[in-house]
């Protein structure tokens, strides 16, 4: 079975899928255990890194923005997403979420929660990079309904009159 999607549309599908997966993994990592306490209890990613859930919401909102925004605005969105993904990745890998935590008992860090968060941050970084690199070539919402090279229709009657005059027609003829 041959791939029939044009490259620009394929890039849009890949980007939106990466953003959705990023939102899911960041949200999921906020619910997973990041620290296991030896006298019992767990500390989740939401407890240690309160920015995981808002970052997941940002990734989810970026799906709608990616589909709706035109070229330059899409590149700006991609830059912001890449920066957010890079900062999140740095915070996770540097151990910053653990710095403010004052354990009671003997804490033991888990690998699953931070690893899932790293995947989400990498997906966000990759989606942002793809938007910066190829975002201006990706189709946007409603673009398939406009004819290529078509002039926008004027809605103001005065604009219609001036357009007719510019094209050499008599707007008062009533034809």
What are the sequence ranges of the domains in the chain?
7-148
Q: What is the pLDDT of residue 75?
A: 92
Kindly report, residue by residue over 96-155, the tens digit of the pLDDT. 777 666 666 667 788 899 999 999 999 999 999 999 988 877 776 665 555 556 555 546
Contact between 125 and 85 (Cβ < 8 Å): yes
Residue 102: phi and psi, rounded to 5, are -110, 100
Mean pLDDT confidence for 68-92: 93
Kindly report, residue by residue over 24-71, the tens digit of the pLDDT. 999 999 999 888 877 778 888 898 889 999 999 999 999 999 988 888
Q: How far apart are the first and last CA of the chain?
A: 53
Q: What is the pLDDT of residue 72?
A: 87
Contact between 32 and 120 (Cβ < 8 Å): no
- What are the contacts of 61-67 at 24+ separation with CB within 8 A? 62/19, 62/127, 63/16, 63/19, 63/20, 63/23, 66/12, 66/15, 66/16, 66/19, 66/131, 66/135, 66/138, 67/12, 67/16, 67/140, 67/141
Q: What is the pLDDT of residue 42?
A: 85
Q: What is the pLDDT of residue 127?
A: 95
Residues 6+ apart with CB under 8 A from 96: 49, 90
Residue 38: phi and psi, rounded to 5, are -70, -35
- With CA atoms as reference, report the closest residue to 139 among 12, 14, 54, 2: 12
Distances (CA, A) of 52 to 66, 78, 125, 133, 134: 21, 19, 14, 26, 27
Query: In the 8-state DSSP scheme, what is residue 153?
Result: P
Mean pLDDT confidence for 91-97: 85
Angle at 52 between CA 88 and CA 83, to 5 degrees: 30
Q: What is the pLDDT of residue 19?
A: 96
Q: What is the pLDDT of residue 135?
A: 80
Least confident stretch, 7-16, 22-31, 82-91: 7-16
> Does the structure show a pLDDT above 90 at 164?
no
Q: Which helix (DSSP H) or strand (DSSP E) does residue 138 occupy?
A: none
């Amino acid at each position: 079975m041959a791939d029939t999607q044009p490259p620009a549309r394929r890039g849009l599908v890949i980007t939106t899928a990466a953003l959705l997966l990023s939102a899911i993994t960041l949200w999921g990592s906020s619910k997973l255990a990041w620290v296991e306490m030896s006298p019992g209890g767990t500390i989740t990613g939401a407890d240690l890194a309160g920015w995981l859930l808002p970052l997941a919401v940002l990734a989810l909102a970026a799906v709608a923005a990616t589909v709706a925004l035109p070229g330059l605005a899409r590149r700006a969105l991609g830059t912001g997403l890449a920066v957010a993904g890079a900062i999140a990745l740095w915070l996770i890998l540097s151990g910053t979420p653990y710095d403010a935590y004052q354990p009671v008992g003997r804490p033991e860090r888990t690998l699953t929660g931070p690893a899932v968060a790293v995947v989400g941050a990498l997906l966000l970084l990759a989606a942002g990079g793809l938007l910066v690199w190829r975002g201006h070539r990706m189709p946007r919402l409603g673009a398939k309904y406009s004819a290529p090279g078509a002039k926008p229709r004027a809605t103001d009657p005065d604009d219609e009159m001036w357009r007719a005059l510019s094209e050499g027609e008599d707007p008062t003829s009533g034809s």
